[in-house]
């Protein structure tokens, strides 16, 4: 895991922190934007684009996020609520007789359209996880989703196609990006996945903070001390810091969006990240506290770090991923879970 330390290069202005944590004596007024009078959610918005991680679009307006993300599990959760069953039945009634995978895509686009009517920015809509190892099928599904959005009068610029960050998924994303379709690479748990995504010039990546935390906590067992692994010491937070620093150091334009949070401390430890996608429950917790919030990540600080450039071809990527037990396990687990929820969603649609 990455380590973070500060080096004194002879005077106060040359103190460089490799973890991107600005020392208290160097923090300026701009690092906190006088956010003592704000709740933490509003303060976070001064540093970071806040994204809502939900399929329940009726919750969105109270938090005023810029963007929103969905996935098969979130859509499955939403359609089981009474408020959304008429929407699901309407889609099934209108498109009954069409291939089931197309009807599911139409449901995803219907949710995406409802979300985009509320937020000013972009929505992420995910390709079927069962296509995670099929580059051509992923490209075709991404193109179809965009075509369905366009048929509803929604510009492609307001949609990110979510794709699992397998080697095949990353290559599909590169092809989609070349065609002007922007992508969000999800289920990202390792530095090698992030580097490959940067090489592919994808629009955005979603490193999963909470699931990384889960793996290390489970692996440590009784030896895990929560207070020692909180905030900047959280392994999921450290993973995102490493990726963010690398991207900013080498001018990689891909946006970094931390995802899958388990607690507010993980979120505040990443203040300054390009984007953070946050569940409604944690958004509410942020809005309920007015504790001061400091910037934790900073692009200018990252540019001063002494980091080597890295590249991965397919063989190097597969070996690096294989060497990372956590990332290998969590990627496989995530694909299986999203695929299982896709099957459950299909069954609900057929019963509608």
Work out whether the CA dihedral 245, 196, 310, 251 comes out positive or negative: negative
Cα–Cα distance for residue pair 270/238, rounded to 1 Å: 9
- Whether residue 55 contacts residue 70, with contact meaning beta carbons closer than 8 Å, is answered with yes
Work out whether the CA dihedral 19, 233, 67, 332 comes out positive or negative: positive
- The neighbour count for residue 4, using CB atoms within 10 Å, is 15
Q: 89, 162, 229, 248: which one is catalytic?
A: 162
Active site residue 150: no
Tell me the two tokens of residue 132. 């995670």
Cα–Cα distance for residue pair 103/107, rounded to 1 Å: 6
* Residue 2 CA: distances (Å) to CA of 5, 59, 182, 239, 247: 10, 36, 29, 7, 15
Work out whether the CA dihedral 181, 246, 270, 320 comes out positive or negative: positive
Residues 6+ apart with CB under 8 A from 199: 311, 312
Beta-sheet pairing, 275-278 with 49-53: parallel
3-class state of residue 277 by DSSP: strand
- Whether residue 50 contacts residue 276, with contact meaning beta carbons closer than 8 Å, is answered with yes
Active site residue ranges:
162
């Amino acid at each position: 895991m990455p380590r973070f330390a500060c080096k004194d290069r002879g005077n106060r202005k040359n103190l460089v922190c490799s973890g991107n944590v600005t020392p208290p004596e160097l923090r300026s007024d701009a690092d906190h934007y006088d956010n003592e009078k704000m709740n933490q959610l509003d303060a976070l918005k001064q540093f970071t684009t806040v994204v809502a991680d939900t399929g329940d679009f009726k919750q969105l307006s109270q938090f005023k996020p810029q963007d929103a993300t969905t996935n098969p599990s979130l859509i499955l959760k939403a359609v089981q609520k009474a408020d959304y069953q008429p929407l699901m039945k309407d889609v099934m009634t209108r498109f009954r007789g069409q291939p089931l995978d197309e009807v599911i895509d139409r449901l995803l686009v219907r949710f995406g359209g409802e979300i985009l009517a509320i937020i000013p920015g972009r929505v992420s809509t995910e390709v079927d996880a069962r296509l995670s190892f099929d580059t051509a099928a992923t490209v075709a599904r991404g193109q179809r989703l965009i075509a369905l959005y366009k048929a509803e009068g929604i510009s492609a610029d307001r949609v990110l196609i979510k794709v699992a960050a397998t080697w095949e998924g990353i290559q599909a994303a590169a092809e989609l990006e070349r065609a002007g379709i922007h992508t969000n690479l999800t289920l990202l748990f390792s530095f090698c996945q992030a580097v490959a995504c940067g090489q592919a010039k994808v629009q955005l990546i979603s490193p999963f903070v909470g699931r990384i935390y889960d793996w290390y906590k489970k692996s440590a067992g009784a030896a895990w001390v929560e207070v020692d692994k909180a905030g900047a010491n959280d392994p999921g937070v450290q993973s995102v810091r490493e990726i963010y620093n690398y991207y900013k150091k080498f001018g990689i334009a891909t946006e970094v969006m931390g995802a899958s949070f388990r607690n507010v401390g993980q979120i505040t430890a990443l203040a300054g990240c390009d984007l953070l996608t946050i569940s409604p429950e944690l958004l509410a917790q942020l809005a309920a506290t007015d504790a001061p919030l400091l910037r934790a990540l900073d692009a200018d600080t990252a540019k001063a770090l002494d980091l080597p450039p890295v590249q991965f071809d397919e063989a190097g990527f597969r070996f690096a991923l294989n060497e990372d037990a956590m990332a290998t396990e969590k990627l496989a687990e995530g694909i299986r879970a999203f695929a299982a929820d896709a099957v459950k969603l299909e069954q609900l649609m057929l019963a509608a």
